[in-house]
């Protein structure tokens, strides 16, 4: 009888130990993962949503996410990565503020045996220094914006104001490349002013206020903004100047944040290209798959659609609810 009781206790206790171990490893790599994430900052609504979503995704998966906000400083990001290395994290996710200047720190992570996933914007470092990149295709986004504007202004002269993103970022460079790739086929379309607003809403407003004073406002056909936040700033400046954004001056931008859907529903913007904030899931999947011994492609694309005023009210309601 005593043997039976002892046997039952061992089975129960043993089961509990296995259960606890499994509770620590709910991503299938034999341990609870700790991942360091260096985020650019909180310069736009899209970035804020991206941060919210990746944190929720980590919590959902039982991943211990060490989150550091670099406030748009590459120096802070390099320090953050050094901190993650010192903490012996299982992997690092880097959302690089600009493209260059990462080789040294990526070598340090590689020497420490810590895989790095680049997320969103790109780096110019050797591909062997990072596991993969999870991102959208910024050149495509620029092409799509220009293609829409070309058909929206078919046959008439269109002088365009371009509000660029952060100087030195692959997002700003590639969106501009894509946009110019298309408008070169339309002699009536011309970018007359291009200035960086650093992806910041208030900067978009200030730049547009200045342009409306220096250019003839009635000559401006459209604003092409590298993100919705700067477009919304420009919309306010256009309204303050007594003009109708979305009608007198067309507005096309990227990100598909809730506020741009509100602007489109109010007839003040014309098109936005979606940049999915759900980049954390694919990054975590790539890290887990790598730790399980699988090959990982060097680029994991995330796609987005173009949206127009006809669905804006419904999209606004849906996205406001999600965020």
The footprint of ligand GZL (CB under 6 A) covers 43-44, 46-47, 120-121, 165, 171, 199, 227, 229, 254-255, 275
Instruction: Show the tokens assigned to 318.
Output: 């849906």
Q: How far is the CB of 121 from ligand GZL (least distance, A)?
A: 5
Residue 131: alpha-carbon gap to chain centroid: 18
136 vs 236 by CB, closer to ligand GZL: 136
Which residue from 232, 256, 258, 254 is spatially nearest to 316, judged by alpha carbons? 258
Helix/strand number for the chain, H first, E second: 11, 12
Q: How far is the CB of 283 from ligand GZL (least distance, A)?
A: 14
Instruction: Show the tokens assigned to 43.
Output: 């310069």
Q: How far is the CB of 246 from ligand GZL (least distance, A)?
A: 20
Q: Is 159 helix (H, G, I), strand (E, B) or coil?
A: strand
49 vs 315 by CB, closer to ligand GZL: 49
227 vs 288 by CB, closer to ligand GZL: 227
Which residue from 65, 41, 129 is spatially nearest to 284, judged by alpha carbons? 65
121 vs 262 by CB, closer to ligand GZL: 121
124 neighbors 97 (Cβ within 8 angstroms): no
**Type and span of the H or E element at 254:** strand 250-255
Q: How far is the CB of 116 from ligand GZL (least distance, A)?
A: 17
120 vs 268 by CB, closer to ligand GZL: 120
Q: How far is the CB of 140 from ligand GZL (least distance, A)?
A: 12
**Type and span of the H or E element at 66:** strand 64-69
φ/ψ of residue 130, rounded to 5: -140, 160
Q: Residue 212 forms beta bridges with which residues?
A: none
145 vs 265 by CB, closer to ligand GZL: 145
138 vs 212 by CB, closer to ligand GZL: 138
Q: How far is the CB of 227 from ligand GZL (least distance, A)?
A: 4
CA-to-CA dists, residue 50 to 57, 138, 261, angstroms = 11, 17, 18
Residues 185, 252, 167, 286, CA torsion sign: negative
213 neighbors 182 (Cβ within 8 angstroms): no
Q: How far is the CB of 170 from ligand GZL (least distance, A)?
A: 8
Q: How far is the CB of 190 from ligand GZL (least distance, A)?
A: 24
CA-to-CA dists, residue 182 to 149, 185, 231, 264, 302, angstroms = 10, 6, 20, 24, 22
What is the distance between the terminal CA atoms of the chain, rounded to a whole angstrom? 60
Q: Residue 91 forms beta bridges with which residues?
A: 35
165 vs 258 by CB, closer to ligand GZL: 165
Q: How far is the CB of 315 from ligand GZL (least distance, A)?
A: 17
46 vs 102 by CB, closer to ligand GZL: 46
């Amino acid at each position: 009888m005593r043997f039976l009781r002892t046997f039952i206790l061992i089975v129960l206790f043993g089961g509990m130990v296995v259960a606890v171990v499994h509770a620590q490893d709910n991503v299938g790599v034999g341990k609870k993962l700790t991942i360091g994430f260096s985020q650019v900052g909180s310069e736009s609504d899209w970035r804020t949503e991206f941060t919210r979503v990746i944190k929720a995704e980590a919590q959902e998966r039982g991943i211990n996410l060490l989150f550091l906000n670099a406030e748009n400083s590459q120096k802070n990001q390099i320090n953050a990565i050094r901190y993650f290395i010192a903490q012996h994290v299982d992997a690092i996710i880097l959302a690089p503020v600009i493209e260059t200047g990462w080789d040294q720190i990526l070598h340090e992570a590689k020497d420490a045996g810590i895989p790095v996933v680049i997320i969103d914007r790109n780096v110019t470092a050797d591909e062997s220094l990072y596991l993969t990149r999870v991102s959208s295709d910024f050149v495509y986004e620029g092409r799509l914006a220009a293609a829409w504007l070309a058909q929206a202004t078919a046959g008439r002269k269109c002088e365009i104001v371009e509000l660029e993103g952060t100087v030195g970022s692959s997002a700003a460079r590639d969106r501009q490349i894509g946009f110019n790739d298309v408008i070169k086929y339309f002699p009536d379309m011309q970018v007359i002013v291009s200035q960086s607003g650093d992806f910041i809403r208030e900067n978009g407003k200030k730049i547009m206020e200045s342009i409306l004073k220096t250019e003839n406002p009635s000559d401006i056909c459209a604003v092409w903004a590298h993100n919705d936040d700067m477009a919304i700033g420009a919309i306010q400046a256009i309204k303050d100047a007594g003009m109708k954004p979305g009608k007198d001056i067309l507005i096309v931008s990227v990100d598909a944040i809730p506020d741009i859907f509100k602007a489109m529903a109010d007839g003040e913007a014309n098109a936005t290209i979606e940049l999915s904030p759900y980049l954390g899931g694919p990054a975590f999947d790539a890290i887990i798959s790598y730790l399980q011994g699988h090959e990982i492609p060097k680029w994991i694309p995330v796609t987005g659609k173009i949206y127009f005023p006809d669905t804006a009210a419904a999209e606004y309601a849906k996205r406001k609810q999600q965020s």
